[in-house]
Amino acid sequence: MARDQVIESTAVVSQDTNIRTTMIQWDVSSTKNNTEILRSDIEKSGARLESVGGEVGEVHGLVSQISSGMEHMTMETTGLKKGIDENTISLKKESENNERRHQELCNLIIGQVEAKSKIAKRESALEDGSRSLKNQLMTLLLEGKKKDAEIAMLKERLNQNRKRGAVVSLDRFCEILAQPSSTEDKPVDIERMFQHPNEDFRRALVHKSRFNAATQGQVQSLLRHERLHRWVSSHHPDLILVDANISSSGLSKVSAISVFCATLISSMMEVHPDEVVVQFFCGLHTAPLDPWHGPNGLVCSIAMQLLMKLVKMNILNLGFINNRDYLRDLEQHDLNTLCDTLYSLVSQFPADTRVYCIIDSVSWFDKDRTFAELATVMEWLQSIVEDRSLIPIFKIMLTNPMKSNRRMKELPVFKENPSRLVTLSSRNLIPMVISNRAIERQLSRSPSPSPLSLKKGVDRTARPESYDDDYDEW
């Protein structure tokens, strides 16, 4: 009995064990399947992670390249800025040296344009995820393009800074004007060159006692001429040539008309001290070795005097000499370049400023060897006074102690406008001494030209001005 019970109990336990074994096998099979699924998912996740890692690596590589490029561009930008700073410092030192060498001329303020640029370097950490990395990469690319544009702008500014302004200093320009081609190897005495206009002026004044009262009265009769009145008082540029018609002047380098010119200059400076008056006495510069010889020296001297006036007014600008070829032509005293320089200097005076230019005894340059150059100068002077956009009021008076030659009168400046020729009469004159007082009295009158009535029967068409017997008062 007991045995049967044991056998039954064993059968029950065996059945239960089989059931449990079956369940365990099912659990193992399920676990195995889940493990396979999990392994597959892990493999997929690993592949994805490898893909993302590769993409991140590529992005990091591109970012490294962009960062390297930006560092290179930053170094190049710094180099350019350093070049600009060095260039600015060099120009400033050169300006200071010029100021020490020529203190009396350096009232000018030489402006230097200093290019400044600020380039900011942006740093930020890469964020997680490919989208953030791509956005950062795009930002870096845009900043790189911006830096390229800034570098190009800096290069352009540096080139402009090098090209801007004059290619010659003030003292060198003065040396060029004062250095005759015949003495290029000799040192230039700038101070003496500056003094030559005043020396000529004094030399002309001291000759007054050499001429008799009749001759002085003949040249001073110019004060009565309406054409001189128009020349002095008109508010527009003008040019006249006065033939003094003095029969006894001969080969005298300083004639009675020279004395009159010097007295007129003195009176102008007394009555109107703010007006600009420059002069040249041709008869005092006829020697070939004279620094101011010939039409070339005439233009250099007038340019030098205008330069001195502009420096005193603190408005001189040598920016028109911005080309090395132009500078070379100036150094060689090319006449057309000198005349163009004269034109540029005249143009720098302010509006309504009267600039009087008196050229005495121009006939000394009306010679076969110098007439072609004189004709060139006259052509330029005509261009200046006929320039409708000329800012100052530029007035030129040329004189001739006798009568001008036919070829002089047939130059376009006179042929196209014969009213620019004035001839003094040698008849029925009142002997008198050339007087500052008389000239100053005329200059002190109203600067506006008052219309003068012409006598009946007088031709109103333009013709050379010649007054033989009667003189109209201003």
The one-letter code for the residue type at 217 is G
Binned at pLDDT 50, 70 and 90, residue 1 comes out as: low
Helix (H) or strand (E) run with residue 467 in it: strand 465-467
Mean pLDDT of 403-417: 95
**Residue 214 CB-half CA count within 13 A:** 9
Binned at pLDDT 50, 70 and 90, residue 396 comes out as: very high
Binned at pLDDT 50, 70 and 90, residue 157 comes out as: low
- Angle at alpha carbon of residue 56, lines to 40 and 132, rounded to 5°: 110
Long-range contacts (CB closer than 8 Å, 24 or more residues apart) made by 336-344: 336/376, 336/380, 338/296, 338/299, 338/300, 338/303, 339/299, 339/376, 339/377, 339/380, 340/380, 341/303, 342/299, 342/302, 342/303, 342/306, 342/380, 342/384, 343/380, 343/383, 343/384, 344/320
Alpha helices in 164-293 (DSSP H): 170-178, 190-205, 213-220, 226-233, 256-271
Lowest mean pLDDT among 34-43, 238-247, 316-325, 355-364: 34-43
**Spacing of C-alpha 76 from chain mean position:** 31
The predicted model scores a pTM of 0.63
Nearest to 378 by CA among 254, 293, 295, 463: 295
Q: Are 190 and 179 in contact (CB under 8 A)?
A: no
Ramachandran assignment for 352, one of left (phi > 0), alpha (psi -120 to 50 degrees), beta (any other): left
Binned at pLDDT 50, 70 and 90, residue 334 comes out as: very high
Q: Are 99 and 174 in contact (CB under 8 A)?
A: no
Binned at pLDDT 50, 70 and 90, residue 240 comes out as: very high
pLDDT at 347 > cutoff 90: yes
What was the pLDDT predicted at 186?
Answer: 66
What was the pLDDT predicted at 111?
Answer: 39
Express each pLDDT in 294-324 by its tens digit.
999 999 999 999 999 999 999 999 999 999 9
Mean pLDDT of 330-345: 96
What was the pLDDT predicted at 44?
Answer: 76
End-to-end CA distance of the chain: 174
Query: What count of other Cβ atoms lies within 10 Å of the Cβ of residue 195?
Result: 11
Mean pLDDT of 11-28: 72
Tokens (6 digits) for 351: 């509006």
